[in-house]
Amino acid sequence: MLLWLGPALVLALAVVCGFIVWCVGTEPGTRWMLHTAVRQVQGEVRGIQGTVWNGLRVQNLSVKLPEVAIELDDLNLKVDWRELTQRRLHVREISAARLAITVTQSGQTSQAPFSVPALPVRVALDHVAVGELSVTTDGQPLPVGVRNLQAAFSLSGQNASLALQGVDLAHADITASVEGNVDVSELADPWPLSARLQARVQTSRASSPLCVHNFLPALPSAAPATTAGACAADVAVNLSGSLDAMSLKVDGGGQGLDLVFNANLLPRKSLPVSNGDLALRLADGSTLKADLSVDASPNEGSGRDHVVGWVSADRLNLGRLVGSAIPQAMLTGKLELDAWLQDYTNLLSAKVGLQVAAGSSWNRQPVSGHVRANIAVQDGATPAQAPAAAGAAQASAVQMAAPQVPPPVWQRLRLSGLDIDMHVGRDRVSGKGALGAPGSQLALDVAVARLADLWPGLQGAVRAQVQLGGTLSKHDAKINAVYSPGAAKAQGIGQGPFDVRLDADGGWAADRAGVGEWKGRVLALSVSHAGLGMQLQAPVAVSYAPQAPAPAWQWQVGATTLAVQLPLNQSVVVRHLGSRGRAGAWETQGAIDHLTTSRRLLREVQKTLGLAQSSADARGRVVVASDKRNDQQQIDYAVDWNMKFLGALEGRAHIRRLSGDLIVPGNPDVPLGLQALNVNINAKPVGASLSRLTADVRVVTAKMGQGTVTASAMLRSTPGGGFVLDRKDPQTVDVDAEIKDLGWLSLFTGDAMDLGGSVRANLKARSKPDGTWTTSGTVRGENIRIVRVDDGVRLLNGTLSAHFDGDRFVLDSLRFPARLRVTPKEWRTAEWVSSNPDARDGSLTLTGQWSLESSTGAVDIDLYRYPLLQRSDRYAMVTGKLHASASASGVALSGKITADAGWVDLDMLSSVPTLDSDVVVLRNGKAPAASAPVNVSMDLDIDLGPRFYITGYGVDSGLVGDMHLSMHEGALTAMGALRTRGGAIDIYGQHLQLRRGTITFQGSATDPVLNIEALRTGLSVEAGVRVAGTAKRPRIDLVSYPDVSDVQKLSWLLLGRGPDDSGGDAALLFSVGTSFLTDGEPFYRKFGLDDVAMQSGTLGSTGSILPVETVVRGLDTGTSDIERRFVTASKNLSKGFTVSVQQALSDTGTVGRLSYRLARGLSADLSVGTVNGIALIYRTIFRD
């Protein structure tokens, strides 16, 4: 049996060895071996070339394990298997074009420290290369791309060494080339190692975060970048030690920056730094240095650590580092820290000090000073919680008390030894004291003469004193601050100083749920500015709990009284009954018992706010005695409100008049005669963010009437807490008004028009979803009055009937009956008006409509025997129909009117001084107001009728005819003819009969054709004047019947006879005629006279300002100015002597006068003739 066993074992061993040699030494065996092995781990292999013994190449290899999956492309493996005999695995080359590793974590982490098990052989990898490495952990790829890895690795026992010949790392547009060595002396905890790495980091994009100049453009650079690749940095890292203690040194530089960092690390600690220092040097020579050291407490288990550090800067140009985000700043100083920590994380106490040395600056202002403070943190139980903790300790004898949650660190901080003294130019901030302990006090003083020294663009100055004291649970504060936005003596809104004074106390406490709340009182509060201000009259309770959950209120303000200071030493007292709120909800309630205003007070408020009318615009008005009384007239209101908001507005607000009257501004002002004024506003929620807002207004006056207005709308709430009105929501307006007197409308029409009458209106308006309105209601009026005194238009006793229909206002009827108030002075017109039945029962009726939406409409005017003009110098009674329409394109007027009777006095028209319509009077420096152009078109027929007369200027005649006026595109044209009917004209001292007078319009209304002829009748030769041509170019000729020479025409016209045979008359008449008909020398110069004039008045009077008669001697009005005219001819004989002759034109009176000037202003007159006498006259002129 044993004989067969030996050979069998040898044969089996030979077979196994042959099989192994076949697997590793032949290509088919290698393929079979790899396929079989990969199949066991759910892998796949393709493209196998070579053998395991001589060298293997695999096109693709993938292996899937439970927690990791590996895939390689173009794997090359060369191993020197012979060195296994020396217990050494020597891999000459292992490389792959791509290596992908996918790791899936199971969630179970071993708590035991990781260690590498001991290997029976030494491992040497001469060349390790990976073209592209990708690692994915739980679906998240490695944020850094790895390419071109070249390395060598060796492992001997517990020693390992990695020689990193090069690797390229990439993230976004930043690339890094790294090389170095890593040596591990023991592959087990605490992993002692040493490493030396060098890297060059650069980018190809100029806007990359690696480019320092891209973010700090003002930073100087020793080597300015000329290409995008110049944004680079070189970093060297040296690391030695173990996880128990490790030293780190980092050297870096580039782009004008040099960095050196040294640190001793404790990787296992929560604060992994034992000590370290940092030095940063810029290209301009400025430096930033830092040092930090951490010492553990000598008492084991106490968990306390002492941290000491400092940061110093030497000529550090902060402006260049940060750029334009801050003003120019240079810092030289040192910040020191000395702190105690609990378990490296919890602050126990700290000393902080900042010293700013000379040479520092901020915004071009020198900076110096220091800040020192001691900070301590109380234990977990605050003073407010201490009693509760004591009670809990007693209760623990029966039952263990629930653990207390310590308050946040900021609630347990104590500040002591605070010392602040900072100077920026002339500005200073100082402070001393402590805060957080019972009885502690902290005082701060801020004095900034120019805020622009601290930050460019800020205006004004600030002066403030702040006092804080006590603990978090019980503290007080006093603040006095003055902000002056303008110059030191400036006043007015936005220019004068703001003065704020605050005195408050309170405390912060937390409830059992840990929700903190501040409760306190505002003891005093006052704010004043530019004559306005407010002052708290009584302390008010205030609370604030920012983290309170709904429905608890996050802030609350209690009841108090607030006085609002107004100009003229007046004030308004506001009773605040309470307000509170939270996110998305608030409530407020209050009242004003007396809100007293006057026009003077409102004017002062406007002046304070800069809204008052300038003094230059206020000049020029007429000051009446009632102005001062109206300015002082007061009106007293009462206001109260109670409003809530919880997604939608709810509540009410009331305004009512208590006493006084409103003065409606005008010229003159109009007292409203107010008896009652009530405004009620109510809001009622109808949805989650929708409320119905209703406003009721009731006004009652003594003389003008009363009215009630009710309006409603849907008020929507926005997510931000605002309110909007959506035009699609329904809106209503109801008006019920009874106006007793429309006289107040004169405030809008001016003094030239007087309106009056009573109106009763009932209007209902409803909005539609498209934003338009529909209306309904009626308007009734009685005793309507429209008067224009200057024009003689008096529309009296009118009756009004109108209604609203949809978007139209329909004027059913506005009728004015004819009233004969004035008897014309012209006897023919007066006789017809007073005696003819056809002159009675006239009327003026208006009908029409107006579109409220499109602002268009039309009106029809029906006149019948209506005396439209009734003045002492003009009169017109007309009949006709007119149609006027208005639209956006302009105003159109058409129709026909006929004068039933009319009269115009030309003398009166010329005696009233008026400015032309194209003259506009403006104050100095004021530009004329721009007027919107209005397109006016007109087609109007005018018939003067059979009873139209003109008198004055010596003319007394009837005027008949008709004409058509039209205006299109601003051009006025006239067609028709007017002609005289009989009559006479007094001219040249003669009474001429109008034989023919025709004015023909053929286009232009300003240049008609003239054909007028007037003759002196009753003589054998009837001579006169003929006017022909146009109004702009008239031609005046002498005419006679029978036709005679021009000299004889003039002699018959002026002298009533022919010229004498001597020829003297001929020369005189020729001179007179040429002076009449040409622009030559006045005719009286031919007679040697110095002056010839026509005057009105008393013949022979001396020019006294006293009337000739002071007592009425009869009912007759006397002679008119026309009847008292006379001609005066005068001649200066010598200096001071004047001879004159006065000849009456309407009678035979003649006066001769000799005047002599005795002195300046003093003269003597001797009169002979119809009036005889002597007068001594003194004249002087009193100037303004």
What tens digit of pLDDT does each residue of 195-221 get? 999 999 988 777 777 777 766 665 655
Element (H, E) at 30: helix 27-40
Token duo for residue 540: 């008010």
Output the pLDDT for position 384: 43
Kindly tell me if the per-residue pLDDT of 515 is higher than 50. Answer: yes
Alpha-carbon distance 1130 to 1140, whole Å? 4
Which pLDDT value is given to residue 444?
96
Q: What is the dihedral of CA 125, 128, 134, 139, to 10 degrees?
A: -10
CA distance 376 to 378: 7
Neighbouring residues of 1023: CB distance < 8 A, sequence distance ≥ 6: 1015, 1016, 1038, 1039, 1040, 1044, 1048, 1049, 1050, 1051, 1052, 1053
Cα gap 736→715, rounded to integer Å? 24
pLDDT in tens, 816-854: 998 887 888 888 888 888 888 878 888 999 999 999 888
Close Cβ partners of 39 (under 8 Å, ≥ 6 residues apart): none
Instruction: Round to whole Å and give the CA distance between 214 and 724.
Output: 46
What pLDDT, on the 0 to 100 scale, is given for residue 765? Answer: 94
Q: What is the mean pLDDT of the chain?
A: 82
Written as six digits, the tokens of 232 are: 């680079």
Which of 1011, 1008, 1001, 906 has its CA nearest to residue 949? 906
Residue from 96, 104, 45 nearest 69 by CA: 104
Percent pLDDT > 70 in the chain is: 82
Report residue 308's pLDDT band, with 50, 70 and 90 as the boundaries. Answer: very high
Among 567-571, 709-713, 806-810, 1100-1104, the range of highest mean pLDDT = 709-713
pLDDT of residue 1104: 52
| Helix axes 1064-1077 and 1046-1054, enclosed angle (nearest 10) | 90
Give the pLDDT mean for 877-905.
89
**How many degrees, rounded to 5, is the angle at CA 1092 between CA 1089 and CA 1096?**
150
Nearest Cα to 1045, choosing from 1064, 1018, 1073?
1073
C-alpha–C-alpha distance, residues 151 and 93, integer Å: 10
Quote the Cα angle for 473-478-480, to 5°. Answer: 155
Token pair 């303008």: residue: 486
Pair type for strands 649-660 and 634-646 = antiparallel
pLDDT above 70 for 746: yes
HSE-CB for 120 with a 13 A CA cutoff: 4
pLDDT computed for residue 1149 by the predictor: 76
Residues 6+ apart with CB under 8 A from 1170: 1099, 1100, 1144, 1149, 1150, 1151
Q: 999-1014, pLDDT tens digit by residue?
A: 888 888 778 888 888 8
Structure tokens at 323: 């750029």
Residue 1037: band (very low, low, confident or very high) from pLDDT cuts 50, 70, 90: confident
Residue 684 one-letter amino acid:
K
Give the CA distances from residue 1150 to residues 845, 1100, 1104, in Å, rounded to whole numbers and listed in that order.
58, 8, 20
Alpha carbon 686 to its chain's center: 33
Q: For residue range 452-509, what is the model confidence (pLDDT) as tens digits?
A: 999 998 889 999 999 999 998 899 999 999 999 876 666 778 788 899 999 999 998 8
Is residue 239 within 8 A of residue 246, CB to CB? The reply is yes
CB atoms within 10 A of CB 929: 7
First to last CA, the chain: 165
| Residue 241 banded pLDDT, cuts 50, 70, 90 | very high
Residue 1117: the pLDDT is: 47
Give the pLDDT confidence score for residue 397 in this predicted structure.
40
Q: Quote the pLDDT of residue 735.
A: 96
DSSP letters, 77-95, are EEEEGGGGGGTEEEEEEEE
Output the six-digit token pair for 217: 């453009």
The beta strands (E) that lie in 718-792 are given as 723-725, 732-739, 754-767, 773-788
* Single-letter code of the amino acid located at 403: P
Helical axes 2-25 vs 27-40, angle rounded to 10°: 90
Which positions ≥6 away from 315 have C-beta within 8 Å? 284, 285, 286, 287, 330, 331, 332, 359
Round to whole Å and give the CA distance between 726 and 728.
5
Nearest C-alpha neighbor of 1027 from the set 1004, 999, 1046, 1049: 999
Task: Label residue 1168 left, alpha or beta by phi (over 0 means left) and psi (-120 to 50 means alpha).
Answer: beta
* Pairing label, strands 705-717, 670-671: unpaired
Start-end of H helices in 539-664:
599-609, 615-618, 626-632
- Mark 141-158 as b/e (b = at least 16 C-beta within 10 Å): eeeeebeebbbebbbeee
87-96, 267-276, 930-939, 1165-1174: range with lowest mean pLDDT: 930-939
In the chain, % helix, strand, coil (3-state, to 5) comes to 15, 55, 30
High-pLDDT (> 90) share of the chain, %:
35
Best CA proximity match to 989, nearest among 874, 882, 1146: 1146
pLDDT at 684 > cutoff 90: yes
Tokens of 756: 């009056």
Rounded distance between C-alpha atoms, residue 1041 and residue 1039, angstroms: 7
Cα angle 504, 509, 510 (rounded to 5 degrees) comes to 150
What is the spatial distance between Cα 427 and Cα 367, in angstroms, rounded to a whole number?
A: 10
pLDDT tens digits for range 601-635: 888 888 888 776 655 455 555 556 666 777 778 89
pLDDT: which is higher, 407 or 737: 737
Joined together, the tokens standing for residue 1161 give 């202003």
Over residues 974-1003, mean pLDDT: 83
Place of tokens 């929708």: 690
Distance, in Å, from the CA atom of 458 to the CA atom of 451, rounded to the nearest integer, reads: 5
How many Cβ atoms from other residues are within 10 Å of residue 1013's Cβ?
A: 19
- Sequence-distant (6+) residues with CB within 8 A of 18 are none
Decide if pLDDT at 998 tops 70. yes
Q: What gap in Å lies between CA 677 and CA 787, rounded to an integer?
A: 31
pLDDT tens sequence across 1142-1161: 877 666 678 888 888 877 77
pLDDT at 194: 94
pLDDT exceeds 80 at position 229:
no
Is the separation of the CB atoms in 176 and 164 below 8 Å? no
Who's near 82: CB < 8 A, 6+ residues apart?
Answer: none
pLDDT at 630: 75
Q: Which residue has the higher pLDDT, 743 or 594?
A: 594
For 1101, residues 6+ apart whose C-beta sits below 8 A from its C-beta are 1108
Residue 386's H or E segment, with its range, is: helix 386-395
Could you say which DSSP state residue 39 is in? H
Given a cut of 50, whether residue 433 has pLDDT beyond it is yes
Residue of 199, 197, 224, 198 lying closest to 211 (CA atoms): 224
The residue ranking higher by pLDDT, 1022 or 17, is 1022
Nearest to 918 by CA among 931, 936, 935: 931
How large is the average pLDDT for residues 312-325? 80
Cβ pair 977, 1006 in contact under 8 A: no
- More confident position, 1008 or 296: 1008
User: Under a CB-based contact definition with an 8 Å cutoff, are residues 978 and 959 in contact?
Assistant: yes
| Section 1059-1085 average pLDDT | 55
Task: Let me know: does 132 contact 98? Beta carbons within 8 Å.
Answer: yes
